[in-house]
Amino acid sequence: MPIHLYNSLTRNVEPLTPRTEGVIQMFVCGPTVFDFIHVGNARTFTIFDVVAKWLRYRGYEVTYLQNITDIDDKIIRRAGEQGRDPLEYAREYEQYYRDDMQALGNTAVTQYPRATDHIEQVKAQVKTLIAKGNAYLIEGDGWYYDLTTFPDYGKLSGRTGLQADDAVSRIDDAEKKRNTGDFALWKLSKPGEPTWDDAELGAGRPGWHIEDTAITQHYFGPQYDLHGGAMDLKFPHHEAEIAQQEAASGLVPFVRHWMHAGFLQIDQKRMGKSMGNMLGLREALKRWSPETLRFFLLSGHYRAPLDFSEASLDAAQAAVQRITELLTKVHALPPSQKDDSALMHIITETRRAVEDAMDNDFNTAAAFGAVFALISAANKAFTENRVGTEASAALKAFFEFLSEQFGIVPAGGAPLSADIQSLVDERQLAREQKDFATADQLRDELAKLGYTVDDTAYGPLVKEKIKS
């Protein structure tokens, strides 16, 4: 079955049809490296990490580019506040970003092209737009894109005006613009700013939108297969990209498939620096394991908003704990001599269900649901001593597959002791049988032994109390 995905451009779920069979050129808007990223940013990058890995699993040759915006008003301002060189400052925060992605398990990117390494490509594209009549100069300010020259502006988002969740910090607010939505292609440099000389354009630096299309044209040509990013980039950033590239090349569509990730929310509000409600990824990684964070970030459908809360992270931690507990049994218990054909069938069907869910618009939520149905069945089979050699090997292989594709399987962990796990399992069985008096008694017994138990959608989360 071919992979189907929702295309933001056509507003339909449709088969993935790359320009060259078996080859995917994929670009995702990367960070502006003026600060550490937050967990909301991490959701977008983790989603597309999984998309790239899944496409490779399905046999595609994937080139995945993620740009680094290393020259920008925010970078210049933040570096100036610290009395530092903006480009040196940007290099430092780029490395922080790449270290954080590695720590989170986001390893699918082929290359991180920097804006400042592609200045000549930016200049060339701006000059093409000038020659074609799409750009104009505001003296002392810079070269701007004239939106009246591109009637298709708005075809991706279905609008041409700003809304509350747009990336409004990137709207160029010049008084002498011809049209409200016109945006900078080349900003003439101010004293003390990084600058690149050009006889035709004037000494300056790239506008924000132009770096993306200059980079993708350099590596992919004027058209390519898949472009991803967060939902707030759809307008105006991605609309600007379409206007630039399609006007410059005369070829339509610029990108065949557009994917947009939903927001991470706190109290129904998007997480972000401008919202004042962000949790830095580095802080989050100190509190939760990479596997727990990845499970949480992937637990909802990528196009839907995802609510951040302590309870949701507890549920994710419980889910990863259940995976650890099952794998501990797989590796520690001797295989049964009994027939395990029923469990083998469930393992096979679960892998097929995961593949079907991912092939249908990368539905990680449905995939995870299938995984935990298997975990319940496998735990029952262990209890009944019917996990044989074949099923044990199949379970190991299945969780290796999950680890490679999703990064939610701990490489190792400190499982609960056999005595504690037995009490936890006994309590869970009592809850399932609605024997809540026994369940409460076992919770109290665990508490006396130094363990707390929180019940979540993925099962009990058991934590050892911190000894004072």
How does pLDDT run along the chain (468 residues), one tens digit per residue? Answer: 689 999 999 999 999 999 999 999 999 999 999 999 999 999 999 999 999 999 999 999 999 999 999 999 999 999 999 999 999 999 999 999 999 999 999 999 999 999 999 999 999 999 999 999 999 999 999 999 999 999 999 999 998 776 666 554 455 678 899 999 999 999 999 998 999 999 999 999 999 999 999 999 999 999 999 999 999 999 999 999 999 999 999 999 999 999 999 999 987 677 766 666 689 999 999 999 999 999 999 999 999 999 999 999 999 999 999 999 999 889 888 889 887 899 999 999 999 999 999 999 999 999 999 999 999 999 999 989 999 999 999 999 999 999 999 999 998 655 677 788 888 888 988 888 999 999 899 999 888 888 888 888 777 888 877 554
Look at residues 71, 76, 120 and name the one whose alpha carbon lies nearest to residue 94: 71
Cα end-to-end span (Å), the chain: 56
Integer-rounded Cα Rg, in Å, for the chain is 26
Please report the pLDDT score of residue 273 as a whole number: 65
Distances, alpha carbon 19 to alpha carbons 222, 227, 455, in Å: 12, 13, 48
Q: How many Cβ atoms from other residues are within 10 Å of residue 326's Cβ? A: 19
User: What is the DSSP code string of 103-160?
Assistant: HHT----SB--BGGGGHHHHHHHHHHHHHTT-EEEETTTEEEE-GGG-TTTTTTTT-S
Look at residues 357, 354, 157, 359 and name the one whose alpha carbon lies nearest to residue 260: 157
Please report the pLDDT score of residue 15 as a whole number: 98
Q: Which amino acid is at 192?
A: G
Question: 0.85 cut: is pTM over it?
Answer: yes
Domains of the chain: residue spans and CATH: 4-282 (3.40.50.620), 310-415 (1.20.120)
The CB-based long-range contact list for 344-352 (8 Å cut-off, 24+ gap) reads 344/390, 344/391, 344/394, 346/374, 346/377, 346/378, 347/374, 347/391, 347/394, 347/395, 347/398, 348/394, 350/374, 350/398, 351/398, 351/401
Please report the pLDDT score of residue 274 as a whole number: 61
Which residues lie across from 306 on neighbouring strands? 264
Quote the CA–CA distance of 324 and 463 in Å, as a whole number: 14
Please report the pLDDT score of residue 169 as a whole number: 46
